[in-house]
């Protein structure tokens, strides 16, 4: 039998891939373009400092790198020598010396790695720009690493270097990227004020927004119809808790890998559950061992139901029916609705299952039960061992 992957181009799911389209970030992209349009319309006439904030997975790096590609393309069309340099401060160990060294090597790859201080490197990069009649947009990603290690001095020097030659062309534009503005409290008031003049904040993505992002990546990375709509919705639901697109894309990639490893032609919700537990392991054996007999029986019914279906959720009635079948198998008298409802609330509080109220498409309102991160097959196997007596979760 010929192997057939669900992927068309999995590189499109790499963390460093910058897509041509950024869903739900066009407003921020337009604002960044407005702040820095002078770099292509009046180069050298002014300079700006931009601060971009937002939690992990809100698209800060993608936004700035997408902008960098766009602005350098415009500059080339107008024959302006503009470079966009993106440096991760954490990867540079929070060292201004390593940051500037990396920036200079964009212009001179053979530039010596030793023999200069950070202050000398800063003067050197300005000299290089003057000699080449060039301009640079320097983005300092994960700025908190630089602030934590070296405090205000590096940013003060970067923001004031051009003030020593007021009549010379302004060649350095600074974009600073960090998660939380609170890190700026470590800076002196003057430097902090300079950085906070132009702020772009990225809110966490909502579930519908994450769904749009995932659909874009599915189209780029997967074979046609290789990812079910239910799986996309499931991933979006998981990632929406943090508003984290990075986590959503990681889940999508891993779910595809699980589909390939088992020879499936489609990424199912069960593949997503396996991916979720491998990215953020959430099954604590000590907690599950503390479950009562009927909590285990109820969970086993839930696990078996999701093994038989591609649905992301089951109704409370379906859960009760599945539990009744398991009780019959283990020759146990089933508990009543009130007790089952207590199991559902307790298991939901622990994050083992997930609940929501049904919406359109179902008559009336009922509680729906989902298995957000634990693969149904793993849960079934562990519970069967425990219920067999002597097995362990």
**Each residue's pLDDT tens digit, 20-67:** 999 999 999 999 999 999 999 999 999 999 999 998 899 999 999 999
> How far from 118 is each of 102, 113, 114, 124, CA to CA, in Å?
12, 11, 11, 10
What the chain holds in terms of domains, given with CATH numbers, is: 26-202 (3.40.50.300), 205-279 (1.10.8.60), 285-387 (1.10.10.10)
pLDDT tier at 389, thresholds 50, 70, 90: low
Dihedral (Cα; 231, 236, 238, 243), 10-degree rounding:
170
Does the structure show a pLDDT above 60 at 79? yes
pLDDT tier at 186, thresholds 50, 70, 90: confident
Q: Which among 375, 311, 319, 366 is positioned nearest to 343, based on CA atoms?
A: 319
Does the structure show a pLDDT above 60 at 69? yes
- Extended strands (E) in the chain: 49-54, 82-88, 135-141, 172-178, 199-202, 313-315, 354-357, 367-370
pLDDT digits (tens, 9 = 90+) for 317-345: 999 999 999 999 999 999 999 999 989 98
Instruction: For the chain, give the mean pLDDT.
Output: 89
* φ and ψ of 130, to 5 deg: -65, -45
The rounded distance, in Å, linking the Cα atoms of 344 and 322 is: 14
pLDDT digits (tens, 9 = 90+) for 142-152: 999 899 889 99
Does the structure show a pLDDT above 90 at 379? no
281-284: long-range contacts at Cβ-Cβ below 8 A with a sequence spacing of 24 or more?
282/351, 282/373, 282/374, 283/374, 283/378, 283/379, 283/382
- Which whole number is the average pLDDT over 239-246? 87
Positive or negative CA dihedral for 157, 158, 160, 166?
positive
378 Cβ contact list (under 8 Å, min separation 6): 274, 277, 283
The rounded distance, in Å, linking the Cα atoms of 272 and 386 is: 25
Dihedral (Cα; 244, 249, 250, 256), 10-degree rounding:
150
With beta carbons less than 8 A apart as the criterion, state whether 120 and 110 touch. no
Neighbours of 241 (CB within 10 A): 12
Q: Which among 203, 125, 110, 200 is positioned nearest to 157, based on CA atoms?
A: 125
The rounded distance, in Å, linking the Cα atoms of 33 and 102 is: 25
Q: Supply the pLDDT for residue 311.
A: 87
pTM of the model: 0.73
The rounded distance, in Å, linking the Cα atoms of 152 and 187 is: 5
3-state secondary structure of 173: strand
Helix then strand then coil, in percent of the chain rounded to 5, is 55, 10, 35
Does the structure show a pLDDT above 90 at 363? no
Which residue do the tokens 């097995």 mark? 391
What does the DSSP assignment read for 66-128? HHHHHHHHHHHHTT--EEEEEEETTTTTT-HHHHHHHHHHHH-TT--SSS--HHHHHHHHHHH
The rounded distance, in Å, linking the Cα atoms of 183 and 180 is: 6
Determine which of 164-178, 219-233, 368-382 has the lowest per-residue pLDDT on average: 368-382
The rounded distance, in Å, linking the Cα atoms of 323 and 306 is: 13
């Amino acid at each position: 039998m010929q192997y057939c992957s669900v992927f068309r181009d999995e590189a499109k799911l790499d963390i460093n891939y910058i897509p041509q389209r950024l869903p739900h970030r066009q407003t921020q992209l337009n604002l960044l373009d407005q702040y820095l349009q002078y770099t292509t319309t009046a180069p050298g006439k002014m300079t700006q400092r931009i601060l971009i904030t937002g939690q992990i997975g809100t698209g800060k790096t993608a936004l700035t790198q997408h902008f960098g590609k766009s602005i350098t393309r415009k500059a080339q069309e107008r024959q302006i020598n503009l470079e966009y340099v993106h440096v991760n401060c954490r990867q540079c160990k929070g060292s201004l010396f390593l940051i500037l060294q990396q920036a200079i090597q964009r212009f001179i790859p053979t530039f010596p790695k030793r023999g200069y201080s950070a202050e000398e490197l800063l003067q050197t990069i300005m000299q290089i720009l003057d000699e080449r009649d060039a301009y640079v947009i320097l983005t300092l990603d994960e700025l908190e690493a630089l602030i934590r290690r070296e405090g205000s001095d590096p940013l003060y020097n970067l923001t004031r270097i051009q003030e020593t030659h007021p009549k010379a062309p302004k060649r350095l534009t600074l974009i600073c990227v960090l998660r939380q503005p609170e890190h700026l409290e470590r800076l002196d008031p003057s430097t902090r004020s300079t950085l906070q003049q132009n702020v772009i904040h990225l809110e966490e993505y909502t579930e519908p927004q994450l769904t749009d992002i995932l659909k874009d990546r599915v189209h780029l990375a997967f074979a046609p119809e290789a990812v079910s709509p239910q799986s996309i919705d499931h991933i979006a639901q998981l990632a929406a808790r943090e508003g984290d697109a990075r986590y959503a894309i990681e889940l999508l990639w891993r779910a595809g890998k699980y589909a390939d490893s088992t020879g499936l032609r489609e990424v199912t919700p069960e593949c997503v559950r396996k991916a979720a537990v491998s990215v953020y392991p959430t099954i604590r054996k000590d907690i599950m061992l503390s479950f009562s007999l009927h909590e285990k029986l109820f969970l086993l019914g839930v696990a078996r139901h999701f093994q038989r279906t591609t649905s992301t959720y089951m109704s409370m009635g379906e859960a009760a029916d599945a539990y009744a079948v398991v009780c019959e198998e283990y020759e146990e008298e089933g508990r009543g609705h009130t007790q089952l409802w207590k199991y559902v609330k307790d298991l939901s509080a622990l994050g083992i299952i997930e609940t929501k109220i049904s919406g359109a498409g179902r008559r009336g309102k009922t509680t729906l039960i989902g298995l957000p991160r634990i693969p149904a097959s793993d849960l079934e196997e562990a519970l069967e061992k425990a219920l067999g007596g002597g097995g362990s979760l």
